[in-house]
Amino acid sequence: MPYFGSEETVKELKRALSNPNVQADRLRYKNYITKVIRYMTQGLDVSALFMDMVKASAKVDIVQKKLVYLYMCTYASDKPDLALLAINTFRKDCADPNPMVRGLALRNMCNFRMPGMTEYIEQPIVAGLRDKASYVRRVAVLGCAKMHSLQPNTEIDGIIVNELYALLRDPDPVVVVNCLRALEEILKDEGGVVINKPIAHHLLNRMKDLDSWAQSEVLTFLLRYHPRSDDELFDVLSLLHAFLQSAHAHVAVATLRLFLHLASAHPAVQADALLCTSAPLLATCGAASRELRFTGLCHVQQVMRSQPGLFGTHYKCFFCGYSEPTYIKFRKMEILVELVNDENVALVLEELRSYCTDVSPELAQAAIAAIGRIARTYSEKCLDILTGLLALKQDHITSAVIQTFRDLVWFCPQSTAAVCQTVEACVDSPQDSETLLWLLGEHGEQISSAPYVMEGYIDGLKTELSSAVKMELLTTAVKTFLCRPAETQDMLGRLLHYCIEEESDVCVRDRALLYYRLLQRGVEETRKVVTGPKSDPSMSVLTGRQEEPISQWASTFNTLGLLSGRDLCLQTAVISAADQPSNSTGKELLPDVTLSSPNDTEEEISLSLGPPLSHETFEKMWLDLEILHRQTLGSPRPRTAPDTLQAALQLVKIQTLAFTPGDTVLWKAYIYTRSTGTLILAELLQGDPQAPGSDESLVVSVKQQPVNQHAIRGFASILKSVLQTLNVDSS
Amino acid sequence: MISQIFILSSKGDHLIYKDFRGEESKDSINVFYEMVTALSGDQPPVVMSHKGLHFIHARQGGLYWVASTKTNPSPFTIIEFLNRLAALTKDYCGSLSEKSVRMNFALIYELLDEMVDFGYIQTTSTDILKNFIQTEAVSSKPFSLFDLSNVGLFGAETQQSKVAPSVAASRPIMSSRGEQGGKNEIFVDVIERLSVVIGSKGVLMKADIHGEIKIKCFLPSCSEMRIGLNEELSIGKSQLKGYSSAVRVDECRFHQAVKLDEFDTFRILKVCPSQGEQTVMQYQLCDELPCAPPFQLFPSVEKDYVNRSVNLSMVLIFLKLRCDLPPKSTALNVSITVPVPKGSTSMSQELSSPDQTAELQPKNKALLWEIPRFPGGAQLSALFKVDVPGLSSASLLEVGPVSMSFELPKQTCTGLQIRFLRLSPTQTGLSQRWVRYVTHSDSYTIRI
């Protein structure tokens, strides 16, 4: 392999290429050229051979020409002076009688990415635009775009633009589409190619002549066109209706996107288009290519956000094949959970049940969680299955089931009794201790064996390593004591004693002391502090299915963002805020702070804390999102201690992630909060030379997911009033 | 628009690299390979992003076909394009493998040069491309005993040589030299993928068939071809079924070049095939199989204690498998995977014939039973004794569901047949026409 001794290889090739005997033998010569390209692909620097390759380009053999052109395009930017030597050959070829040679030369000449190339290519391009062979015209049209990209800052050449607009009427369909593409690039600064009524209708009439790639591209360009009247709109839609069921999925989906966009005021038309496209979409979900299958599934999922019923009868298409990769199985399960209805619930559950014993623990856990989600609606059947799974006595299954139980009692309290009964049966297998303890603590009065299980934990306390488990145990013991004092008093005493006297972990000791002092104040006081709501059915509104308007997702439909998981990852961050019943009930006692902004009494907004975000998540989201709002707050940063600032913000339910210490000139703070289903991230900045007026006043930049302008305004006013209050205090 | 296209071997070797827009350096190949190999199984690898550059890739023939872009294009377009690129490579090089791509890299560069310009897809049609592609394909022909067996004693034609040779379809479409080059062949393949779930009591719970009719054409120029399907073929769910053995599909889609004017009355597809492989028709049938599913399994799973005192226990799995195909047909490469309880240590088996094999795969917690040939109407049984220390009665629940994979040559489950294949006007007797049928198991699961 050529990775080693590359210099030797290059020298050897150079010798061979300049050998007149080799040059005379057509086949041997070509062989050496092929070798050069092979090394180039593998990553070897063969730019030293440029001179010899230029010579080789003068040969008539067209295959050899193509190879040499590939070489030259790769290295032209490194050797601009030598590349100029090749220009003559190119220009000669541009006048060749064979259109293939003309096109080839023009295309490759335009591919030279080096400064000063424009003067050489301009004349051949202009000639190429008027060539009688469509092949050359295609190349020349894109050549205009290439020429523009070589000198992006120069003035737009009006003559060429006009010529390109004229070529939109070219008989060759590829020339037409290339014109659109070239104009789009050249006119990027002016908002891209203009699609007016004549152009739009011309394109619509040419749709049938285009190949599928061009079709989907033209459909994307048409997104920019707004029909003037409803009559025209329906004319356009009826012209395109046939493409909704194109055999090419990409055309069908591009058409659907255009339909959703154009018919945004006609929900019935949108629904009809979705129905028409459901067949091609389903077909992609069963395509032989995994990647296509995955793409299809992602889009089905998106459509279901607005029309959960659309695929209900086709639920069997989303059963997992056993050889499918895990990421496809995950998607299919997510879809199955969404499309459950009274008719198919039994079969879907049976199918999910069979995944619970899968070899892959991740898949098994996901399947169990999926059953848990279905249990919020069909609790009885699901509880039977989950209870049955406990009998398997496998660690990963049991812990997943217990976690599912925890979420279930939180979201639908009516299942509490059944869950408690089941938990009673499985308490002897402590895999996921924290979750189990939480269940015991919250519902101790319904689980008769709760004190005895806890006793087991307390006896084994010395060997317990995890401090999180110890903290949870303390909470559980106190809660159980409140409802069953007689059985628990003794062991609570032992637990507190151990934790205060012998425990080395400060957090655990502090928690124990806290509870100890709390208990000293009396049982009623303790009850007020420790017990919170046991469940919150209203939360399931956030996580459960709710039909979104189509406009919410239509803009990302058929784009990469949908697949890369970027959007999804943000969504889960927001949703998991509601998903995780917070273990420390203290926070729930605080009522949500409601502030009304001074200038507009109608604007009321409530913020809430939710579970903390990790630094990584925050950073990722901050980088991914756009700044939605920037505002000067009109007050400098408070000269208070950092703790005070943090506490003050916490009071109005704004969480502080990080801030620069002390008196740094460029002072920054990152904060976040949640409000009615959206997550607000913000940066406070003082002293940034780029932001005007930030010397004496703080500038706040807000990002949000999902967007809710109302919430941002509310957030800004709350933030403003807090900072003003702090400044008054400190001065 | 596409910024770069590259093809990598599964080990990350650079096979093909073409930069269309000069926006990104060649390092992005390594960035991509590091990202794709670092992913765990449950992360979707199809689209990945790195500093504003998005990688979209498809796996075909064990290779990574990657496109990178800085814009936000339609994922369907890019993925279908990559699949099309792979299909064209297969057409031109004969087969799709690391070796064939390595040997024909000049040809693939030539293809890419014509297919994509400045990141915009220009054309992928074989008819147009063949005018521009000049490089001859180098085909790698592996030595195969099958080729020898085709030649009968003293050169006499054996029975086998009348069957369409399966290797013939995997040669380059453009080769003008060589002993096979002169053959004007056309292959029409009906390929069905079967996915079935059979419930614990032998009830058919789900049965889907995805089928396609593919043409692989080696004729340098072809006039119109007429493909006649079963006349009684009915499409859609609403049509009434008589007592006749009507062949039914739920829906079908056609290649845009197919002319359907005789389809409604005579079920004839008219197409002018271009060189290479193309799918003329795709069809689906959901929930209803016109015949019995090809395999029925009668399992019994029992617990048995060898020695109760030392807790040595085993699971007895007795499987009786019946093939419900017509007697003359055969299923090939049948393999059956049975999940076994966690902690299974060893296995002994009793199989009914020596060509079958069975092994325990502790990593996958499964046993694999393989049957190379399974004639229709036959019934095979096997007994597996799996040693599982510390077996509980709940562990038996871990046995199952059983999944099978197989291939049914000369069979279509929908019953779709090709009545005739006519080239019109009839060419001068040179062309050979082959019609082949095959059904693959996409996913065949039997619950216990």
Residue in chain A lying closest to B1 (CA): A181
Query: Which token pair is A719?
Result: 């933030």
Residue of A nearest to B131 (CA): A100
Q: Which residues in B lie closer than 8 A to residue A107 (C-beta atoms)?
A: 113, 117
Q: Could you tell me if A468 lies within 8 Å of chain B, comparing CB atoms?
A: no
Q: What is the Cα–Cα distance from A19 to A13, expressed in whole angstroms?
A: 10
Torsion of CA A137, A138, A144, A146, to 10 degrees: -140
Question: What's the whole-number average pLDDT of chain A?
Answer: 81
Residue among B40, B65, B120, B360 with most chain A CBs within 10 A, to mutate: B120
Task: Confirm or reject contact between A26 and chain B (CB < 8 A).
Answer: no
Predicted confidence (pLDDT) at residue B357 exceeds the cutoff of 70: yes
Calculate how close chain B gets to A178, using CA atoms only, in Å: 8
8 Å CB contact of B106 and A560: no
> Which strand (E) or helix (H) includes residue B380?
strand B379-387
What is the reported pLDDT for B140?
A: 61
**What are chain B's domains?**
4-130 (3.30.450.60), 185-291+413-446 (2.60.40.1170), 295-409 (2.60.40.1170)
CA distance A58 to B361: 61
A-chain residues near B443 (CB < 8 A): 320-324
Position B51 pLDDT exceeds 80: yes
Q: In this structure, are residues A714 and A647 in contact, taking their beta carbons and an 8 Å threshold?
A: no
CB contact under 8 A, B74 and A559: yes
List, as one string, the DSSP characters of B277-340.
Answer: EEEEEEEEEES--SS--SEEEEEEEEEEEEETTTTEEEEEEEEEEEE-S-TT-EEEEEEEEEE-
Instruction: Please compute the mean of the pLDDT values over residues B371-387 and round it to a whole number.
Output: 90
Q: Which residues of B touch A290 (CB under 8 A)?
A: 59
Q: Does A114 touch chain B (CB under 8 A)?
A: no
A283 touches chain B (CB under 8 A): yes
Instruction: Pick A216's closest partner by Cβ from B77, B79, B395.
Output: B77
Which of B44, B74, B395 minimises the CB distance to A565? B44
Chain B residues with CB-CB distance to A325 below 8 A: 41
The pLDDT value recorded for residue A75 is 86
In the predicted model, what is the mean pLDDT of residues B304-333? 82
Q: What is the DSSP string of B256-279?
A: TT-B-TTHHHH-EEEE-PPSEEEE
CA distance to partner chain A, nearest, from residue B207 (Å): 9
Tokens linked to A481: 């004591």
CB contact under 8 A, A100 and B131: yes
* A502 secondary structure, DSSP code: T
Q: Assess A267–B contact: CB distance below 8 Å, yes or no.
A: no
Distance from CA of A99 to the nearest CA of B (A): 11
B314 pLDDT higher than 90: no
Residues from chain B contacting residue A181 (CB–CB below 8 Å): 1, 118, 120
Cβ burial, residue B306 (10 Å; 0-12/13-18/19+) = exposed
User: Using an 8 Å Cβ cutoff, are A680 and A700 in contact?
Assistant: no
Which one of B63, B76, B102 makes the best mutation probe of the A interface by having the most chain A beta carbons within 10 Å?
B76
pTM here is 0.79
Position A52 scores a pLDDT of: 84
Pick from B269, B134, B136, B133: nearest CA to B213 = B269
A601 burial via Cβ count (<10 Å: 0-12, 13-18, 19+): exposed
Beta strand B234-235 with B248-249 is: parallel
Q: Which residue of A has its CA nearest to B254?
A: A247
The answer, for A31 touching chain B at a CB cutoff of 8 Å, is no
What is the distance in angstroms between the Cα of B136 and the nearest Cα belonging to chain A? Answer: 10
Interface contact flag, B132 A113, Cβ < 8 Å:
no
CA distance B15 to chain A (A): 7
Per-residue pLDDT band for B33 (boundaries 50, 70, 90) equals very high
Q: How far is A624 from chain B (nearest CA, A)?
A: 10
Query: Which of B393, B389, B397 is closest to B314 using CA atoms?
Result: B389
Query: Which of A324, A326, A375 lies closest to A353 in space, CA to CA?
Result: A375
Q: How far is B47 from chain A (nearest CA, A)?
A: 5
- Which residue ranges of chain A lie beneath pLDDT 70? 1-5, 425-431, 535-546, 565-606, 609-611, 662-664, 676-677, 688-696, 729-731
How far is residue B309's CA from residue B306's CA, in Å, rounded to a whole number?
A: 9
As a three-state string, the secondary structure of A641-700 is CHHHHHHHHHHCCCEEEEECCCCCCCEEEEEEEEECCEEEEEEEEECCCCCCCCCCCCEE
Q: Per residue in B166-200, is it b (16+ CB within 10 Å) or e — as a string?
A: eeebbbbbbbeeeebeeebbbbbbbbbbbbbbbbe
Phi, then psi, of A606 in degrees rounded to 5: -110, 135
Place of tokens 């145990």: A473
CA angle B284, B286, B292 (to 5 degrees): 110
What's residue A570's pLDDT? 37
Contacts of A349 in chain B (CB under 8 A): none
- Rounded to an integer, what distance in angstroms lies between the CA atom of residue A127 and that of residue A95? 10
According to DSSP, residue A626 is labeled: P
* A41 chain-B contacts, CB cut-off 8 A: 14-17, 105
Predicted confidence at residue A572, as pLDDT, reads 37
A575-599 pLDDT, tens digit per residue, is 333 333 333 333 333 333 333 333 4
Q: What is the pLDDT of residues A201-249, one digit of tens each?
A: 999 999 988 999 999 999 999 998 989 899 999 999 999 999 998 888 9
- Contact yes or no for B397 and A63 at CB 8 A: no
